Amino acid sequence: MAQCDVCFRQCQIQEGAVGFCGARTCREGRIVADNYGKITSLALDPIEKKPLARFFPGSLILSAGSYGCNLRCPFCQNHEISWSAQAMRFSREAEKISPQELAQTAAYYRDKGNIGVAFTYNEPLIGYEYLRDTARLVHEMGMKTVLVTNGTAQLHVLEEIAPYIDAMNIDLKGFTDRYYRDVLGGSRKMTMDFITHAVKTCHVELTTLIVPGENDSEEEMDQLSAWVCGLQDAKGNPIGHEIPLHVSRFFPRFHMQDRRATEIALVYRLAETARRHLKYVYTGNC
């Protein structure tokens, strides 16, 4: 048995078993990423789909995903590869693509407008070793790397990958501990700490999905955007005002089909609330 130290769960994992995320296992007394190089999804996407609005707009990026996640968002649109009970089959079935092969594939599509590799679809940080190894090679080829993440990871994980990541979109899913704990199974503090340090390392954009009855008040959005506005760069300079925030519309799916899609007018109203503090606020799914 060994203890995983990627996120707040600190799973104690028996030899040969997997942790809560479904992707980290214990081998010979050491915690390793069982999903290393096991790719379930690969597509050439517009950069705006990540979403990134202010990082090489109009470009394409090779997007790769594996399986597993350390949250349990009941509305997950990628639950087939993210929720461990369903995703475990990919431990055997996923295509194995080495860091070298993925970097070479990215370079192959450079002439088609590809700028690099995005790690996305499931939660990339639970397999950060593959992300780190691949991103290093992509950088050596003169291309860009993007991370799309829930930000639920210890800071030592960020330190491992930061030298090789050019941009991140991080979910700041709400601004109450209740929502993070009871609905998502996460840690708001860990996510906020991750964001606080990530903005010191690369271009960062944030996304908040507005779920009716959960995180949809103007008061919460005002508090969230005010906190973002207070973020600082590595030299202590205020930069939060210019961090882009994507305010997105919820649609009922998966285990959360007991409520309607977010009213478009509400998304626009909350975006206006965020603009009290932030220069770049975008609406999504409207």
pLDDT in tens, 68-82: 999 999 999 999 898
Question: CA dist 181 to 69, 114, 169, 228, 243, Å?
Answer: 15, 38, 21, 21, 25
Residue 254: the pLDDT is 93
**203 band by pLDDT with thresholds 50, 70 and 90:** very high
**84 band by pLDDT with thresholds 50, 70 and 90:** low
- The angle, 0 to 180 degrees and rounded to 10, between the axes of the packed helices 128-140 and 99-108 is 40
106-147 pLDDT tens trace:
999 999 999 999 999 999 999 999 999 999 999 999 999 999
Q: Look at 93 and 158; give whichever has higher pLDDT.
A: 158
Q: Look up the pTM and report it.
A: 0.97
**89 band by pLDDT with thresholds 50, 70 and 90:** confident
Residue 85: the pLDDT is 63
Residue 90: the pLDDT is 81
**86 band by pLDDT with thresholds 50, 70 and 90:** low
pLDDT, mean of residues 191-208: 98
Strand duo 60-65 + 114-119: pairing = parallel
Distance, CA of 155 to CA of 153 (rounded, Å):
6
Amino acid at 235: K
How large a percentage of the chain has pLDDT more than 90?
94
Please tell me the total number of residues recorded for the chain in this structure.
286
Q: 208 forms bridges with which residues in the sheet?
A: 247
Residue-averaged pLDDT of the chain: 96
Residue 94: the pLDDT is 86
Which of 74, 46, 41, 68 has the alpha carbon at shortest distance from 59? 46
Residue 152: the pLDDT is 98
Tokens representing residue 1 in the block: 């048995």
162-172 pLDDT tens trace:
999 999 999 99
Of 80-84, 201-205, 229-233, minimum mean pLDDT range: 80-84
Residue 92 has pLDDT above 90, yes or no: no
**93 band by pLDDT with thresholds 50, 70 and 90:** confident
Distance, CA of 102 to CA of 30 (rounded, Å):
26
12-33 pLDDT tens trace:
999 999 999 999 999 999 999 9
Residue 48: the pLDDT is 98
In order of their start, the domains of the chain are 2-284 (3.20.20.70)
**Contact status, residue 71 vs residue 123, Cβ threshold 8 Å:** yes
Residue 91: the pLDDT is 77
pLDDT, mean of residues 246-273: 96
Distance, CA of 162 to CA of 203 (rounded, Å):
11
Distance, CA of 26 to CA of 115 (rounded, Å):
35
